[in-house]
Amino acid sequence: MMERTLGIIKPDGVGRDIIGTVLERIEKAGLKIVALKMIRMSKVQAKGFYKVHEGRPFYESVTDFMSSGPCVVMILEGDDAIAAYRGLMGATNYEEAAEGTIRRDFATDIEKNVVHGSDSPETARFEMDYFFSALEAAPA
Ligand code: GDP
């Protein structure tokens, strides 16, 4: 089933100059990058993005991290894109992530784990709308 998902290269990935590496893995996996831009979130914007985690012990820390530098945000399209991209990313905790995944290869701790990907069609809709206008996300 053709699907869209929201991907982010987090501030640690951008800071470590692995934008190209991550994008290459995405393209080689057969996912189409249909929208892409670099943004810098404020603390308030990062809190809005991770609102589902409000109240969790890591909420303050992860929103500080996500607003600490620029991120690359993108919309990816492909067959079962949500699961396909999460498979490419690997588990949240890089120590548990499968060999060859982005997080296993590049993450440095459970928080600084290089990439984000939506985890359901509902969050994908919310997250794509959070960063992209209807014009930017329009079908080609
Ligand atoms: P994801 O969907 O795999 O990104 O994982 P979650 O939605 O559970 O968590 C969102 C993000 O919060 C993760 O990607 C990490 O950057 C961060 N995070 C998750 N769990 C922890 C934790 O236990 N400690 C800290 N410091 N950060 C965490």
Which alpha helices (H) appear in the chain, and where do they start and end?
Answer: 11-15, 19-28, 43-49, 59-66, 81-89, 102-106, 121-131
pLDDT at 139: 83
Determine whether 53 is an active site residue.
no
Laid out side by side, the sheet with 32-39 consists of 32-39, 71-79, 2-9, 115-117
Catalytic residue, from 116, 118, 127, 131: name it. Answer: 116
Give me Rg for the CA atoms of the chain: 14
Domains parsed from the chain with CATH numbers: 2-131 (3.30.70.141)
pLDDT in tens, 5-48: 999 999 999 999 999 999 999 999 999 999 999 999 999 999 99
pLDDT in tens, 56-106: 999 999 999 999 999 999 999 999 999 999 999 999 999 999 999 999 999
* Residue 108 near ligand 1, beta carbon < 6 Å: no
Give the bridge partners for 3, in sequence order.
78
* Residue 113 near ligand 1, beta carbon < 6 Å: yes
Q: Whole-model pTM?
A: 0.97
* Residue 59 near ligand 1, beta carbon < 6 Å: no
